[in-house]
Each structure stands twice: as structure tokens, then as C-alpha cells.
Amino acid sequence: MFTIFGFMACNPADNPSKKLSPDKFVQLPQYFSAENARIRTEGFSLFKTVTLNGKKDTAAIAGGDSAAVHDLLKPFMDVDLNKPSLRDEFDTSSLYDPFSGRRSVIYKSKGEQTRPAEITMELDKQGNIQLVNIHAYTTNMVYEFRQDLTYQRNRQIRSDTYQKIAFLAPKELQVNVTMAPKTGM
């Protein structure tokens, strides 16, 4: 009888410390995967401007071009604050606007070199993400990297990247994509 109770006490399925805890932060990879699919299926017109070290080029992108849309959203999809290695690396604060019902959520890194350093999200009164800003940087004696990503739902995708390696000229890359619903003919 004691053996049966002993086995029941050691059953890992009933051990609450072994159960997975819910995610602490918003699931940004899943959100941007869903936005990727939505942009492709709803047929947005995308207008892209790329500036590399002051030289500018523009192009139209078909909203259904899955590779182009995925590439634009990939840096956003790569941000996952729920990774075990980042679990306790961020402080969370939020601001609420009682007039509009909108809320801002800010995730700020506790460490100096954690990537990303800060994420700011604007949510509408229903709690839907409308704007995401991601700021990342790395710096040491040999290398400097800064990246600012902005996603404004149904309007804009923006990426500003600065990279400087010792003894080489710095590189600045800006990608700005405006989104517009397709108009019928």
C-alpha cells in the first residue's frame, strides 16, 4: 500500500512545479506571422523606399508577394521575449489613456546589451496591437549596431539600421514601406 502511495506522490504529471507557466510577454512572433498572412490575403499595395548610405531607390511590391512581405516582417518575427534566456531580462510598464481607451505597453531591458533594448506597443481599446516600436543596439570597442523597427498596422513598416565596424566606413540602411488597401478598378 505504501508503495502505491509513493508512486502516486512521484507522478510528474501531478507536480505543479513541472507545469509550464504562461507566457509573460505578448507573443510577437505569432502576431507578426498572422499579420504576414493578413497582408498577403487582404491584398495591400506596398510601396518600398530603400536608402543605403544616402542613395535612394523605390519600388512597388505586390501585396500577395509572400517572400517580400515575409522578409519585411522577419526582423519583427525574430523578437521573442518569452525565450527562456530572456525570461527575467525585461521590466514591463504600461500607460492608460482613459479618454480614448488606448494603452501603451513598454518592455525595457534590465541589462545594457540585451537585444532588443526596448519594445513599445500601442493597443486600441479592444486590446489589438496598432503600433510596435523595437529598439536594439550593441556596442563595444570594435563594433556598433543600432536598429529601430516600427510597425504601424495597415500603414507602415520601417527599419532604420546603423552598423559601424572598426576601421571601416559606417553603413546606414533605411527601409520604409507604406501600405494601402488595394483599390478596385
Residue 161 has pLDDT above 90, yes or no: yes
12-26, 62-76, 114-128, range with the lowest pLDDT:
12-26
User: Whole-angstrom Cα distance, residue 86 to residue 118?
Assistant: 13
Residue 133 has pLDDT above 60, yes or no: yes
- The CA–CA distances, whole Å, from 11 to 5, 18, 47 equal 10, 11, 57
Q: Taking Cα atoms as reference points, which of 163, 155, 162, 166 lies closest to residue 176?
A: 155
Cell of 172: 546606414
The size of the chain, in residues, is: 185
5-9, 36-40, 107-111, 156-160, range with the lowest pLDDT:
5-9
21-25, 101-105, 117-121, range with the lowest pLDDT:
21-25
User: Whole-angstrom Cα distance, residue 3 to residue 149?
Assistant: 59
Report pLDDT for 155.
Answer: 94
> Across all residues in the chain, what is the average pLDDT?
82
pTM for this model (two decimals) = 0.79
